Amino acid sequence: MQDSSTATATAIATGDHCPRAVLFDLLTALLDSWTVWNAAAGSEPMGRTWRAEYLRLTYGCGAYVSYEDLVRQAAATVGLPARAAQSLEDHWDELPVWSGATELLQALKPHCKLGVVTNCSRRLGARAAARLGVDWDLVVTSEEAGFYKPDPRPYRLALERLGVAPRDAAFVAGSGYDMFGTASVGLRTYWHNRVGLARPQGAPLAEIESPTLEGALPWLRTFHPAAS
């Protein structure tokens, strides 16, 4: 008898009802960046505080400002030494992959275009995306788009480059802030809320919110080909 993960992977292997493209947040939906941030900060509470300040700066600035500069600025604001930001970058190529992420991407790759839309610099975005070992159809960073999510422009740039309409695509988010952007673009969204983040005030609901990626494959099977 097949276990549930094998059964869902087999079911989607036919490609039935699969969207034309699936886009992913990278640093929270697919990769456990929390562990590396916490280690660089010296503790989980300090890492969370640093990350919260970084997110406040990111989501408040809109137009792209150097990702690395924002990380350093956030560290200084919460009282961390300059070496914390350097430690984060030194361990960037050790970002752990969340369980289920590789299996999800492998199951989707034969049937969907796969892309990343991430708040990051080009340089660090490429290194992080390589952690998944998949041949991405595209990686869009906030540096390339010129704006940080949840501004709609990074999501739209990814869809335009893939040649896919929002109704024919899906997004797997890692942060509740993504829902502001995906809702404005018209992307159906699965929120992989691995660490139990609170939904930001006013953020639209995702179609599914789950602490794991296990439900993503069956959710994607609910898609139907768009009317021609």
Query: Among all chains, which residue has been given the structure tokens 């906030």?
Result: 142
pLDDT of residue 15 exceeding 70, the answer is no
Q: What is the pTM of this model?
A: 0.90
Q: Which residue do the tokens 């940080």 mark?
A: 148
Q: Is the pLDDT of residue 33 over 90?
A: yes
pLDDT level of residue 72 (50, 70, 90 thresholds):
very high
Could you read off the pLDDT of 142-198 as tens digits, one per residue?
999 999 999 999 999 999 999 999 999 999 999 999 999 999 999 999 999 999 999
- Mean pLDDT, the chain, rounded, equals 90
Confidence of residue 1 (pLDDT cuts 50, 70, 90): very low
All structural domains of the chain? 4-32+96-220 (3.40.50.1000), 34-93 (no CATH)
Rounded Cα distance, 27 and 125, in Å: 9
- Mean pLDDT of the region 8-15: 46
Q: What is the phi-psi region of residue 194: left when phi exceeds 0, alpha when psi lies from -120 to 50, beta otherwise?
A: alpha
Write b or e for each residue in 93-124: b if 16 or more Cβ atoms lie within 10 A of its Cβ, otherwise e. Answer: eebeebebbbbbbebbeebbbbbbbbbbbeeb
Query: To the nearest 10°, the Cα dihedral for 100, 106, 107, 109?
Result: 140
Nearest-CA neighbor of 115 among 151, 163, 79?
163
Residue 138 tokens, joined:
């595209």
227 vs 55, which has greater pLDDT? 55
How many CB atoms within 10 Å of residue 18? 22
pLDDT band at residue 7 under the 50/70/90 scheme? very low
